[in-house]
Amino acid sequence: MLHFILTRFASAVFVIIGVSILVFLLIHLVPGDPVEVMLGESAQPADREALRHALGLDLPIHQQLFNYFGNLLQFDLGTSLHSKRPITELLAERLPATIQLAFAGLLVAVIIAFPLGIIAAIRRNTWWDHGAMGVALIGVSMPNFWLGPLLILVFSLWLGWLPVSGHEGWAALILPAITLGTAMAAILSRMIRASLLEVMDEDFIRTARAKGLKERRVVLKHGLSNALLPVITILGLQLGVLLGGAVITEIVFSWPGIGQLTIDSINRRDYPVVQACILVIALIYVVVNTLTDVVYALIDPRIRLGDS
């Protein structure tokens, strides 16, 4: 077990180093001279040299990389060109809103996906099944940057029930959470259906039925609790997709999270902030996935034994 956890953490550290290097290299994608792009053509040469020096872009690349990692280890992500504030401070301000949105999206996904998936599985090949899976397919095919405006149109502008945007109170969280959670609900419900169908063919389900247990108890207790294991892994992976999807959802609803900061910073050509945002989201994703794997292995011995 310890061996499994250690290898898993070692590979996570490797991935984190790789991700950091990739993010470091992003600045070199800027066409031409990044300093000129960031400051605009009218900038004074002295200002340019000052920024070039501040970003370390005047050093040889291995020296830049070395300094970059040195700063990362001290949680120093540099300074925003736009607000002149430390980037870690900006991120700390924005991160709670994104995490709040991601968890709300996750909650919506779970609330929608479980009934859909279970109904589809126990009423297999009936209209219930086709209906539930049809809804799921539409859910996957509906991009969040369209679903969001549609929800605003119906529930905010036409019905006037919920706020158009903003971040005050629970009501403001509902539409963004639905927008973000729908695609995941669709994927999750298909997973739950498939997993439950597989489990329901097992011998212990027949035994449970033969014992005379009520069907509800057979499905929920014996079936679902065993079908949940693969679903948990997907939840971990999907949390990353939620974090990625949050960028667009935040734009639709003017939600003051990291996604909004990323896009605002792209538009302001505040590239150090863009890099930091991407890095932080990727790091959260890696950490969540690693923890999911470890927890999963703790719950299910087949995983860690099969892996070693």
Partner 1 sequence: MRLYIPLTIVILWLFFALFGSLLPLHPNLIDLTEILTPPNPETWFGYDDLGRPLWDRLVMGAETSFFVAFWVILISTVVGTLIGAFSAYIGGWWDHLIVRIIDIFLAFPGILLAIAMAGLMGPGIDNVVIALCTVGWVGYARLSRAQVLSVRQREHVQAAEALGVPPFQIVIRHLLPLIMAPLIVEATFGVAAVIIGEAGLSFLGLGIQPPDASWGSMIRDGARYMLVAPHMVIIPGIALMLVVLAVNLLGDYLRDRLDVKQRTT
Q: Which residues of the shown chain bind partner 1 in the complex (CB under 8 A)?
A: 11, 14-16, 18-19, 22-23, 26-27, 29-31, 137-138, 140-143, 145-146, 149-150, 152-153, 157, 187, 194, 234, 237, 240-245, 247-248, 251-252, 262-263, 266-267, 271, 274-275, 278, 281-282, 285-286
CB 15 → partner 1: shortest distance, Å?
5
- Residues 215 and 140: beta-carbon distance below 8 Å: no
Angle at 190 between CA 202 and CA 203, to 5 degrees: 5
Partners of 86 in beta bridges: 79
| Number of CB atoms found within 10 A of residue 301's CB | 10
3-state secondary structure of 229: helix
* Token code pair at residue 94: 């924005």
Closest distance between partner 1 and the C-beta of residue 226, in Å?
A: 18
Instruction: State in angstroms the smallest separation of the CB of 157 from partner 1.
Output: 5
Closer CB to partner 1, 79 or 98, in the complex: 98
- The DSSP result for 145-171, as a single string, is HHHHHHHIIIIIIIS--S-SS--STTH
Q: Of 209 and 226, which has the nearer Cβ to partner 1?
A: 226
Rounded to 10°, the helix 225-253/144-151 angle is: 70
Pick between residue 24 and residue 213 the one whose CB is nearest to partner 1: 24
d(CA 158, CA 280): 38
Contact status, residue 56 vs residue 62, Cβ threshold 8 Å: no
Q: Which is nearer to partner 1, 172 or 235 (CB)?
A: 235
Whose Cβ is closer to partner 1: residue 6's or residue 237's?
237
Residue closer to partner 1 by CB (options 199, 218) is 199
Beta carbon of residue 186, minimum distance to partner 1 (angstroms, whole number): 10
Q: How many residues does the chain have?
A: 308
Element of type H or E holding 101: helix 87-122
Angle at 273 between CA 267 and CA 277, to 5 degrees: 105
Nearest CA-CA partner of 147 in 57, 53, 252: 252
Name the packing angle between helices 258-267 and 225-253 (round to 10°).
40
How many C-alpha atoms does 213 have within 13 Å on its Cβ side? 16
**Which tokens sit at 88?**
């870690």
Least gap, CB of 9 to partner 1 (angstroms):
14
